[in-house]
Structure 1
Amino acid sequence: MPANLNDFALVVGINDYPSFRSLTGAIRDATDFASWLKDQNTGGGLPDANCAVVLSTPDSGRPAHEQIDEALEGIFNAVAVEGGRRFYFYFSGHGIATDQTKNHLCLAKWSEKWRKNALDVQDYLNTVAATGKFEEIIFLLDCCRVRVLGAGGLVCNLALPRPNNAPDTRIFMANATEVFTAAFEAEVAGSAQSDNRGHFTQALIEGLQGAAAGPGGGVSAADLKNYLETNVPRIAAERKHAQTPEVTNGLLRATRFGSAQPNAIAGWPVTITFSAARAADILLEDSQTDEVRRGPTSTGPWELHLNAGLHLLTDLGSNEEKSFRVKAGMGVHHVQF
């Protein structure tokens, strides 16, 4: 049975901007985070029905404003019946800022002409909080906050009256980068690469899967904040980028995300990309034949930190193997399997 029946999420990933620069990794980042949310073992523990995932499709100009609001309406309808505890909003795509306090999330139709076709972050946050249905609201935004003159954001079309007995709402807000700066969230800019990933989301998932976990298991809000602030710049620097997140934590000290056990990041960065022809689970072992990771190719590319030495990948369907050696001090290792 799912652990958190009263937790809900809206996850948005937009690769496809028909009239602007399309991205290559935003959808993968969004689906990876949705997978963590629905992980019943050590993840967010949400039932599938509680996690709305809205993704772009090529040349459609979608999602549009109404698709986001309709997904949010579905959550509000469910909460009215079941009640809510925690609400997650995750976005990966292009983002802009119009001043120090106004962030906007670019919808698929955004362009230099359609520069107001974006979601007003503060208004959507206020709309969710005003329902009085959630004790905790988590906003995780893997996008730029570059300044665009004459731009703006669309407000949410939904509004629910706040009940008199509504609980206090506590908020955790994490932006991938500082205001008026870029985030390297799977940028394409004409590149044909298929494994571009958001530095923010990489750090986020690393932390939630155990790198930021405390001794008793699970990740506290304070530890997640610290992990993002420390490791987004680290990951960015490994790829010769500069990126500093801004994280505001208003949650209680006892708050925990998931139940992963501590798994400190150590070693050297390795990115493992899988052939599209592979369909079975993959096993990764170290030089002592200890299991490092196991999972389907759909979770790739794997971005890991491994100790120096020999490692072995095995396709558990075909038993095909590939060994590779991690050498200290050589930067990011790229392995194709």
Structure 2
Amino acid sequence: MNDILTATAPPVAPAFTGICKEAVNENIAKGLPVNTQDYAIIIGLNHYLNLKPLNGPIPDACKLRDWLVSADGGNLLPNHCLLIPSVDNCVTPDQTHIDLALSKLFNLAKNGQPRRLYFYFSGHGFGANWEANGMCLPIWSEELYNAALSSEAYLDLLVESDIFEEIYFFMDCCRDRRINSKPLPPMLGTPGQPGGKSMALVLYASEYENPAWEGLAIGNGTMSAHGYFSRALLEALNGAAVNSHGDITIESFISCVKEKTENYAQQKNQNQSVRYDIRNNNKSLQYVLYKTNRIPGTDVSIRFNTAAHIKLDGPLLTAIREDDVKAGDTWQLRLEKGFYQISEMASKRHEFITIDGTTKTVTYDF
């Protein structure tokens, strides 16, 4: 797969196959317009030689790559989106692999009309200081204490290169403090006078000195592990962050990711609060990241098993619909994000329906 970077120098990593499906942008085969201005580097590290293995980073990285390349998502060219996964019992990817991938994207972008770069890291990490996170490489250990990429230094490189107008820097890793740590700056540089005009939105999965968590979730009928932050990030991009105008703005995106991450942690009796920073904020918080052209809301089908008098109340406790139903009847509704209560009036039986704005169609039995 040409969008996956594999090790080609000693120590050689095993060939990377079978973890993610091949990235396909349906618009290419159809001859429809494709986004040629945006680029992404996506790093997902499950495997570490001296740390507990993780379960969520590679699946989350694959899902983000799929969304970015999908015609219904970022609509990127597949070769503009580089995926760098870890491999079991291997010291790669190391900093060389990651910096070479960035260099490849830089050279591609310089020959085009670049607009946006996505940088995503999921794996083990630590807080070096308030601004700098260490993004741990597979070889990290207590002896190789600094075998981690510096988020601050890599962000500086991306901003000062002035190649991209917009940079979106996402980190799904812990930020527990490690004293006297010195994460690695990039080997890449910016010869000449550094720039600094690029707008950068940075999302940390947690606050400084706090962990980031992963857990099991059901999706498409299967149970899989995801980072709470990455799960929230993907759901936001898939429509949960759409505002009343059908757009995903910087503000609605941040708000959605923060709310969902915190909710997923609370469901497991854990605490996790997303932190964000905006550098060179020449964009309004109402700047549109994606125009979805969709009306906010979820198509809901409620199927009734018995005859009854039913009432559906909305998030503001106002009645949306009240009627007599027969067994087998169905209500077809379009509901905005929020909590709803459906009641059988005679028996006073109540159930709650949660609409998060992500799923296009939801079916309930009552």
Specify if TM > 0.5.
yes
Is 1:106 matched with 2:136?
Answer: yes
- Indicate the residue corresponding to 1:133 in structure 2: 163
Kept after mapping to 1: 8 A contact 2:245/2:296: no
* Distance in 1 (alpha carbons) for counterparts of 2:93 and 2:331: 45
Pick closer, same or farther for the CA change 1:172–1:222 going to 2, 3 Å: same
Tell me which residue corresponds to 1:256: 288
Give the counterpart letter for 1:156 in structure 2.
P
The 3-state SS of whatever aligns with 1:146 is coil
Residue equivalent to 1:312: none
Aligned counterpart, 2:87: 57
Which of residues 212, 217, 239 is equivalent to 1:183?
212
Deviation at 1:3, TM superposition (A): 3.8
Determine the structure 2 residue equivalent to 1:322. Answer: none
Displacement of 1:130 in angstroms is 1.6
* Structure-2 separation of matches of 1:265 and 1:152: 47
In 2, Cα distance between equivalents of 1:31 and 1:307: 33
Gaps of 5+ in 2: 1-31, 217-222, 301-328, 343-350, 354-366
1:195 corresponds to 2:227: no
Percent identical residues: 28
Structure 1 residues 225 and 108: alpha-carbon distance in aligned structure 2, compared to 1, 3 A threshold: same
CA pair 289-56 structure 1, distance change in 2 beyond 3 A? farther
Match of 2:67 in 1: 36
Aligned amino acid, residue 35 of structure 2: N
**Range with greater deviation from structure 2 (132-141 or 147-156):** 147-156
Per-residue deviation, 1:306: 11
Q: 1:202 to 1:266 in 2, by over 3 A?
A: farther
Match of 2:123 in 1: 93
Relative contact order higher in (CA < 8 Å, ≥ 6 apart): 1
- TM-score between the two structures when normalised by the length of structure 2: 0.68
Q: 1:112 to 1:185 in 2, by over 3 A?
A: farther
Please say if residues 159 and 197 of structure 2, whose CA atoms lie closer than 8 Å, have aligned partners that are also in contact: no
Give the aligned partner of residue 240 of structure 2. Answer: 211
Q: What is the distance in 2 between the residues matched to 1:234 and 1:5?
A: 36
DSSP-derived class of the 1:202 partner: helix
The answer to whether the 8 Å contact 2:35/2:77 transfers is: yes
8 Å Cα contact 1:34-1:51 kept in structure 2: yes
Report deviation, 1:40. 1.4
Any gaps of 5 or more consecutive residues in structure 1? 188-193, 268-286, 293-304, 310-326, 330-337
The Cα of 1:2 is off from its aligned counterpart by 4.8
Relative to structure 1, the CA distance from residue 105 to residue 2 in structure 2 (aligned partners, 3 Å threshold; closer, same or farther) is: farther
Q: Max radius of gyration: which structure?
A: 2
Pairwise CA distance, 1:4? 2.2
What is the CA–CA distance in structure 2 between the aligned matches of 1:106 and 1:266, rounded to whole Å? 42
State the partner residue of 1:231: 260
Contact 2:246 2:296 (8 Å CA) reproduced: no
Match of 1:66 among 79, 82, 96: 96
Aligned to 2:348: none
- Tell me, in whole angstroms, the C-alpha distance in 2 between the residues paired with 1:115 and 1:167: 30
Structure 1 SS opposite 2:208: coil
1:265–1:199: structure 2 CA closer, same or farther, 3 Å change rule?
Answer: farther
- Paired residues, what number? 276
1:110-147: per-residue Cα shift (whole Å, max 9, x none)? 12221200001111111111211111111011111011
Task: Tell me the equivalent position of 2:75.
Answer: 45
* Counterpart position of 1:14: 45
Aligned to 2:203: 174
Alpha-carbon displacement from aligned partner over 1:86-120 (angstroms, at most 9, x marks no partner): 11101110110122222110011112221200001
Amino acid at match of 1:212: A
CA RMSD of aligned residues (A): 3.1
- Per-residue deviation, 1:222: 1.1
Q: Deviations over 1:210-250 (max 9, x none)?
A: 11112333310111111122221111111221100001243
After superposition, give the CA deviation of every residue in 1:170-226 in whole Å (9 maximum; x if it has no partner). Answer: 110100000000000359xxxxxx722111111111111111112333310111111
Instruction: Say if 2:128 and 2:183, in contact at 8 Å, map to a contact too.
Output: no
Amino acid at match of 1:228: V
Quick one: distance in 1 between partners of 2:245 and 2:182? 44
Contact 2:243–2:296 (CA under 8 A) maintained in structure 1: no
In the alignment, is residue 5 of structure 1 matched against residue 36 of structure 2? yes
